[in-house]
Amino acid sequence: MLPLHESITYGPVASRRLGRSLGVNLLPPCRKVCTFNCPYCQYGWSAQTRRGVTRPAEAWPSVALVVKAVAARLRHAVAQRERIDRLTVAGHGEPTLHPDFTEIVGGLTAVRDELMPALPLAVLSNASTAGVSEIRETLARFDERYMKLDAGDAATLRSMNGTRLSIESLIEGLSEVRGMVIQAMFVKDRSGRIDNTGDLAVANWTSALRRISPLAVHLYTIDRAPAWPYLQPVSAARLGEIGHLVELAGIPMQVFCTTGWPGSPGISPKQM
């Protein structure tokens, strides 16, 4: 598993999807906060799963602190002529849970425009807050939105993401987000209790994709030790089959396979 971030900025992280991605962590330092509790999470299990549970507000980095840290890091990059391909809001949890998410995105947009105007601002979200109109309006201010969807039915959502959020509300929220890429993790465990790679689970998932109509879908499997140690990566062949079904639904897709974790089947160079 990865250690939790101590600072607001991290990287740039080498990513085939995002290039050299400078990460922005809006979560409390060294404290994972997420509405999901995915068994494949590279940051371990979520101890707190409800919005606002980590208040008081001082647990979260302030708007001023985030903007100051990102501005300093971008100034350094400009001075050093460092290549950065994306400024990506992600971190060890769900970034849209920050109580001042909208204000922070406004501040990040301003410093990006001032210091590196050509740098795309991206966000990685688990989509659990996509049903909130204010969050959707803020997501629309990003240049790129990467939203998670691993399941198309209630049972698979529960086992893959450890949430009591209804699959219907998740799909409805995502359907309201325009211009996004869906990122989907495929895994199974040895017992078969956790598995979103079977024909029925995939059929339900592709059906949800048709309703959501994303710009594209990115498919991948685990490349680091997960929270639940019995998970297994999915073969490149199965990911390719699932990707083909996405294409049949008329949606562009890309498969990302990795060798970063010893449990990986060793498919292609590390991507994420």
- Least distance from C-beta 32 to ligand SF4, angstroms? 7
- Least distance from C-beta 26 to ligand SF4, angstroms? 12
Strands 144-148 and 181-185: parallel
Q: Please state the three-class secondary structure of 56-108 as a single string.
A: CHHHCCCHHHHHHHHHHHHHHHHHCCCCCCEEEECCCECHHHCCCHHHHHHHH
Q: Please identify, using beta-carbon distances, which residue of 12 and 91 lies nearer to ligand SF4.
A: 91
Q: Please identify, using beta-carbon distances, which residue of 38 and 208 lies nearer to ligand SF4.
A: 38
Q: Please identify, using beta-carbon distances, which residue of 49 and 197 lies nearer to ligand SF4.
A: 49
Q: Please identify, using beta-carbon distances, which residue of 2 and 237 lies nearer to ligand SF4.
A: 2
List the strands of the sheet with 19-24, edge to edge.
9-15, 19-24, 86-89, 121-125, 144-148, 181-185, 216-220, 253-256
- Least distance from C-beta 96 to ligand SF4, angstroms? 11
- Least distance from C-beta 38 to ligand SF4, angstroms? 3
- Least distance from C-beta 115 to ligand SF4, angstroms? 28
Q: Please identify, using beta-carbon distances, which residue of 93 and 214 lies nearer to ligand SF4.
A: 93
Residues within the interface to ligand SF4 (CB under 6 A): 34, 36-38, 41, 43, 46, 93-94, 126
